[in-house]
Amino acid sequence: MNQTNQMSTTMKMPQILGVSFIAFLLSTAPACSQSEPPSPQGVASLAPAELRDGEQKFTANCSACHGAGGVGTKQGPPLVHKVYEPNHHGDAAFQRAAANGVKSHHWQFGDMPKIDVVKPDDVEQIVQYIRWLQKQAGIF
């Protein structure tokens, strides 16, 4: 009688462990799936697929001065700025800036050197990307 009692106590142990293990899994599962969804935070990674080439060319050739996402740095002004909206600096201004450089006139950053590794087609893609950033920022 006494022995039977002890048997059933020891038999229950694995069951209890099993239940708490499942409870543990259930409690962590929702936490995991909440942190799963890929929600890109950076402005850059939110660019629509068709603008990714322009984004990449901007990052490679312009962002050292104009900043990631065009927000500006100590070396150059933000392009996501009302000064550079389409009516004030049309697409041709971007082509000229890349092809010839820019004499400092709006800011105190000094001159922009010409960036002739980017060809007119590249600049066109970069401009599309900048216009998108400007729109996102509500500039036009």
Which position among 70, 102, 125, 133 is part of the footprint of ligand HEC (CB under 6 A)? Answer: 102
Task: Work out how close the CB of 122 gets to ligand HEC at its nearest, in angstroms, rounded to a whole number.
Answer: 8
β partners of residue 112: 102
Closest to ligand HEC by CB, 29 or 60: 60
What's the Rg (C-alpha) of the chain? 29
Closest to ligand HEC by CB, 9 or 105: 105
User: What are the structure tokens assigned to 21, written together?
Assistant: 């293990």
| Cβ-based burial of 123 (10 A; exposed 0-12, middle 13-18, buried ≥19) | buried
Closest to ligand HEC by CB, 7 or 92: 92
CB under 8 Å to 53, separation ≥6 — which residues?
125
Contact set with ligand HEC (CB under 6 A): 61-62, 64-66, 75-77, 89, 93-94, 97-98, 102, 104-107, 109-110, 112-113, 115, 118, 123, 126
